[in-house]
Amino acid sequence: MDVAQMLVDQADTVVIHSGNIINSYSLKKRVGQKSSDELADSIEKTFISWKDSVGPEYMNIPEPIHTLNITNDALTWSHTDERRSNLKISAKIFLSEVEPQLVRNAVDNVCKTLGVRHLDSAVVSFPDTIPGAYVEGSFSKALSVWREMEAMTKEGLVKHIGVTDFDETAMQNLYRCATVKPTIDQIKTGHDFNVPDDLIKLSEEYDIELLSHDDAADMLPEKSFQAIMEDNFPNSTSASEWLPSYAVRYSAIARCRGIVRSKGYIVEAGKRLSNGYYTVTTGGEGYMD
């Protein structure tokens, strides 16, 4: 019996940990490679590694593992070989659904993966199903997520928080409503690196750091993720039922040298329920330095 496939079919949630892809020649981002392709390759490699590590002892577990952690153990990395104060650890959270709990899950999972108690910065990228400049009804959805980002800042889990692709109107709205102000706005500038003048003026007034990115609007489309599941678990009864909740990309950079010590992805996905919704886990406590 395919034990790995059995575990996936029994689970309600999977959390996929790529490990430190810097240590994998085949996963290092190649010139011209899209970040979304790097993410998909990381998931694929993680499944292959994990399936090889799953033994028959899992046949005797007393009950199903509802939240299944799938890890590439060959690429694990912890900051223990370098002082935490020497590292700048950041994360970018790509939400597939606008659910506040998901940003906390992402931060918790990064902290646990790296064995740290806080991140230096975290930015959230909202799905492109949220239209326009996140105003009116859609802005209230974005604001509910921001409240969770604020809560994590107040708890000391994240020092600086920000958003992705907020234009001047959206940033004004967010800044006005926020109790913890955004300090980062990642924007997709294209090849000409053209930043709107009104956004530059706003960032100078509010001391917001403008950073460029080239990530896709949808980093992990539902159909792409399901295709990866079907390729790796071809006889699964549930491969087409999995929906990605979020993907988070994290990095740990040596402050003085600018060397990337660790980079990886974590993906959480839930199984589609009969009512059309999917499961969202409540996360857990992070590791301490």
pLDDT tens digits, residue range 63-110?
778 999 999 987 776 655 567 788 999 999 999 999 999 999 999 999
Residue (of 92, 84, 119, 58) closest to 213 by Cα position: 92
Q: How high is the pLDDT of residue 289?
A: 36
In angstroms, the CA 144 to CA 139 distance is 9
d(CA 278, CA 260): 35
Looking at residue 257, what is its pLDDT?
76
Token output for 97: 């659904």
**Residue 285, pLDDT above cutoff 80:** no
Q: Please state the rounded mean pLDDT for residues 240-244.
A: 92
Question: How many other C-beta atoms lie within 10 A of the C-beta of residue 171?
Answer: 21
Tell me what pLDDT residue 28 has: 58
Percentage with pLDDT > 90 across the chain: 57
76-92 exposure pattern, b = at least 16 Cβ within 10 A, e = fewer: bbebeeeebeebebbbb
Q: What is the pLDDT of residues 167-222, one digit of tens each?
A: 898 899 899 999 999 999 999 876 666 888 999 999 999 999 999 999 998 999 99
- 227, 67, 159, 40 alpha-carbon torsion, rounded to 10°: -10
The closest of 236, 268, 3, 271 to 110, measured between CA atoms, is: 268
Among candidate residues 46, 129, 63, 126, the one with its CA nearest the CA of residue 94: 126
Beta strands in the chain (DSSP E): 13-17, 67-71, 87-95, 119-125, 158-164, 184-187, 209-212, 242-254, 260-271
Question: Would the pLDDT of 223 be above 50?
Answer: yes
282: confidence class by pLDDT, cuts 50, 70, 90: low
CA distances from 171 to 147, 153, 163, 181, 202 (A): 15, 19, 9, 10, 8
Query: Coil, strand, or helix at residue 58?
Result: helix
Of 215, 145, 201, the residue nearest 172 (C-alpha): 201
Looking at residue 29, what DSSP letter applies? P
